[in-house]
Structures are given as structure tokens and as C-alpha cells.
Amino acid sequence: MKIEMPCIVCPNSCNLEVEYEEENGQKKIVSVSGHLCDRGITYATDEITHPMRMITTTIKITGAHIARLPVILSDEIPKELIFNVLTEIKKIKVKTPVNEGDILLENILGTGVNLLASRSLL
Ligand code: SF4
């Protein structure tokens, strides 16, 4: 199978052409072209074989002058877990004081990734 995808690693936005095979649900890269540097190969390979995503969102907070606290994951998670992780995040209720970097939820769904406060609300 052959697809095209823009490389989002740098502003050059190279248009990558990626050929891969799929067997028993496992994808394997055959070739990558259109890249100006090797980071494009790494990006295409990761995106096809095990795509990862970062989540930033907001959660409810009480006791602050604003109603929602911006939060971010400590690392990327597998793309297929986004919905389940967001469901876990939605369950959280926090109240002030919260400091930037505070861990609000630890090892979400066994991923080893934590949910962190993106700002302080005291
Ligand atoms: S392949 Fe290299 S030069 Fe092209 S967008 Fe990706 S990182 Fe940038």
C-alpha cells in the first residue's frame, strides 16, 4: 500500500510517499521517499507502525478565578488510546491550589504517562 503524508517534524513540510505492507495486522515500511532528511523516515515509520499523540485539554477546577485548568500529558500516548485516556481525564475534579507541573493523574491506564497541570492556580 502506498500513501502520501506531510512530514510535520519541521517547517519544510516535505510531502512523504510511504509504501508499506500489512500482515496479520502488523504494518511494515517498504520505502519512504520525498524526505529531505532522515527525520522524515523516522516520522513516517512511527506514524505508520505505532502512531503516538500528545493530549492537551482542560479540566474543571473549583476555587479559582477561572472555571477550567489547562492540563497536558507528561508524554505521548498510543493514538488508539486517545478516547480512553480522555474519558479518564474527564473524571478528574480538582480544587485550588494547583501548581504548574503537579501530577493530577498518575500512570493513566497503565501507560506510564501522567496528567500534569499546565499552569498554577492558587
Ligand atoms: S523530512 Fe526532514 S526536512 Fe522534510 S519536513 Fe521532515 S524533518 Fe523537515
Question: What confidence tens digit (pLDDT) does each residue in 73-113 have?
Answer: 999 999 999 999 999 999 999 999 999 999 999 999 999 99
Q: Is 44 exposed, middle or buried (0-12, 13-18, 19+ CB in 10 A)?
A: buried
Q: What is the pLDDT of residue 107?
A: 98
**Nearest atom of ligand 1 to the alpha carbon of 9:** 7
Residues 44 and 72 in one domain: no
Q: Is 25 exposed, middle or buried (0-12, 13-18, 19+ CB in 10 A)?
A: exposed
Give the number of domains in the chain.
2
DSSP 21: E
Nearest CA to ligand 1 atom 3: 36
pTM: 0.81
18 ligand 1 Cβ < 6 A: no
**95 in a domain, yes or no?**
yes
Nearest CA to ligand 1 atom 1: 40
116 ligand 1 Cβ < 6 A: no
Residues 39 and 68 in one domain: no
**122 in a domain, yes or no?**
no
Range(s) of the domain holding residue 28: 2-50
Residues 95 and 65 in one domain: yes
Q: What is the pLDDT of residue 25?
A: 87
**31 in a domain, yes or no?**
yes
Residues 75 and 44 in one domain: no
For the chain, what percent of residues have pLDDT higher than 90? 98
Residues 43 and 6 in one domain: yes
List of residues 6+ apart from 21 with CB closer than 8 A: 1, 27, 28, 30
Residues 65 and 106 in one domain: yes
pLDDT higher than 90, residue 116: yes
Residues 42 and 69 in one domain: no
pLDDT higher than 90, residue 65: yes
Contact call for residues 102 and 116 (beta carbons, < 8 A) = yes
**Torsion angle (degrees, nearest 10) of CA 52, 25, 19, 34:** 0
Nearest CA to ligand 1 atom 2: 37
pLDDT higher than 90, residue 1: yes
DSSP 78: E
Q: What is the mean pLDDT of the chain?
A: 97
17 ligand 1 Cβ < 6 A: no
